[in-house]
Structure 1
Amino acid sequence: MFKVLVFILAFSILPARVWADEDVDVELVLAVDISGSMDIDEARVQRSGYLNSLRHPDFLNAVKSGRLGRIAITYFEWAGRISEGSIIPWQVIDDAGDVQAFTTKLQARPIGTQRATSVSNAILFGTSLIDTNTFSGERRIIDISGDGPNNTGPPVITARASALARGITINGLAIMVRPSVSFGPLDRYFGDCVIGGPGSFVLSVHEAEDFAVAIRQKLILEVSGRSPPAHLRLANEVRTDCFMGEKLYPGFLDRTYPELGR
């Protein structure tokens, strides 16, 4: 009996966050594309855009505008697979010191690119980060950037359905600085095949110098919970082939896709 009592007392003095989820306004995953179709200069501009946006006073003001005035945020980079060395663990943001700590970690990460583009793996990994964290957010969001359609890994529509089934919203940043002639408008692909959930939206970047402004606008909308402008919410009628990326690579016809009925 004494041993049982000691066990109970020992655990009763642990910090509250061990026992219960920590309430935040938003659980936000930043999933950033570093696929080889982006050159190193674009990757640097994108990284700078995230750093500047997170450090901008408007971002922290948006955080403080929430009911609780704090969010939980994590970051990782992806291409055909997840770049494990890029992952910044979950951190609560509720003051300028937290922002500085988070962005210092991000700035220290080396910048590079990798092969292939798996939007689906990025969504699935982001979903797992949300499912396994110790936070309880009023909203749960995966914020995914990309400069091309899914061309490896599971179908993107399957990954999206898995996230949406868990109550996660997916927003997109379509990087269209060097648009490919191999497929249609990337923002339309993101709107039809990638984003989803309440208030989901797509922002487009057409010029390298627009990265910082677009990223800041996206983060403020996500953190504040404001409704995105109508021009950022694409029509619900699907007009895009969500397998356009896979079809550009050899072996597509040899794979089984239940989503296509074969």
Structure 2
Amino acid sequence: MAGRAEAETEVGMGFRRLSMVAVLVAASLWLPASAARAETEVDVALVLAVDVSRSMDPDEQELQRQGFIEAFRSPQVHDAIKNGMVGRIIVTYFEWSGVDYQRVIVPWTIIDGPDAAVKFADGLQDSPIGRLRRTSISGAIDFGAKLLDQTGVEPIRRVIDISGDGPNSSGRGVVAVRDEAVAKGITINGLPIMLKRPTGFGDMENLDLYYKTCVIGGQGAFLVPVRERQQFADAIRTKIIREIAALPTPSLIREAQAEPPVSCQDGERGTYRWDRN
């Protein structure tokens, strides 16, 4: 009986040793994966999609580019990045016009402090600005969504930032494309540029309402219209800070009851003539 008891004791100890080994092996597998995930997490993956169609004058395009450069050099943006849950973001910047033109100016870049932010701004400073025909917001959203699948990191939020001065006039319908992106968990924010007086030839009345109705979407989506040249830098900086920090934003355009109706098919039907050059 004593020998049998001793044997059972040894068997029990063997099981316990095997269990401990299994736990240690599992822990050794989990810890590196957890550490790797922590290394690849970012607060936001931000796509900056910038209109360079010919409906924008060269000086407007330069103001737009300089606005983004100044934003990433500003201490306010640096603080917003530092104060995030993770403390780093990933950003890319591309220019777009017609349905077949999207050009990455600065590829996906991790920004985890002022030095990286300034380096991103320098990349924008050193690249010439394109200027092409047609305006395809839908093409820009499609391209931005594809870029978001290529970050190589795990963002808490995914955002496409669309800036432009006119409605969608080529490519797929903008509402359908917007809705597809939102269904993937992507937020689309807008920076409608409204510097020219509406003339019916290259300008759209109530472009801010068009962006609100037809372009932006997703959790926390918002827009910041630019109506004066001196507003460019401040508007872009404010918008990027809100995108990084996921801050709530008050409406910056008229209340719904005061808004005239806007058709999302106006540009697509050729109601507005855009790229006049």
Same fold (TM over 0.5): yes
1:185 maps to: 206
Shift of 1:16: 7.6
2:213–2:262 contact (8 Å) kept in structure 1: yes
**For 1:191-226, what per-residue CA distance to the aligned partner results, in whole angstroms no more than 9, with x for missing partners?**
000000111111111111210000001001110111
Q: Cα gap change, 1:232/1:223 in structure 2, threshold over 3 Å: closer, same or farther?
A: farther
What is the RMSD computed on CA atoms of the aligned residues? 2.5
Which structure would you say has the larger Rg?
2
Which of 72, 87, 97 is the matching residue for 1:54?
72
Q: Following superposition of structure 1 onto structure 2, how do residues 1-262 of structure 1 map, counting pairs within 5 Å?
A: 22-81=40-99, 83-182=101-200, 183-231=204-252, 235=256, 239-248=261-270
Identity across aligned pairs (percent)?
Answer: 45
Shift of 1:181: 3.6
Q: Cα gap change, 1:112/1:179 in structure 2, threshold over 3 Å: closer, same or farther?
A: farther
Q: Distance in 2 between matches of 1:227 and 1:174?
A: 19
Shift of 1:77: 0.5
Q: TM-score, normalised by structure 2?
A: 0.79
Q: Distance in 2 between matches of 1:172 and 1:94?
A: 25
Q: Distance in 2 between matches of 1:207 and 1:121?
A: 27
Which amino acid in 2 is paired with 1:53?
Answer: A
Range moving further from structure 2, 181-190 or 210-219 = 181-190
Q: TM-score, normalised by structure 1?
A: 0.83
Q: Distance in 1 between matches of 2:220 and 2:107?
A: 26
Unpaired runs of at least 5, structure 2: 1-28, 273-277
Shift of 1:238: 9.5
Which amino acid in 1 is paired with 2:43?
Answer: D
Q: Cα gap change, 1:151/1:179 in structure 2, threshold over 3 Å: closer, same or farther?
A: farther
Unpaired runs of at least 5, structure 1: 1-11, 251-262
Structure 2 SS opposite 1:246:
coil
Q: Cα gap change, 1:142/1:234 in structure 2, threshold over 3 Å: closer, same or farther?
A: farther
Aligned residues: 236
Q: Cα gap change, 1:113/1:16 in structure 2, threshold over 3 Å: closer, same or farther?
A: farther
**For 1:17-61, what per-residue CA distance to the aligned partner results, in whole angstroms no more than 9, with x for missing partners?**
9x7681000010000011101111111111111101111100010
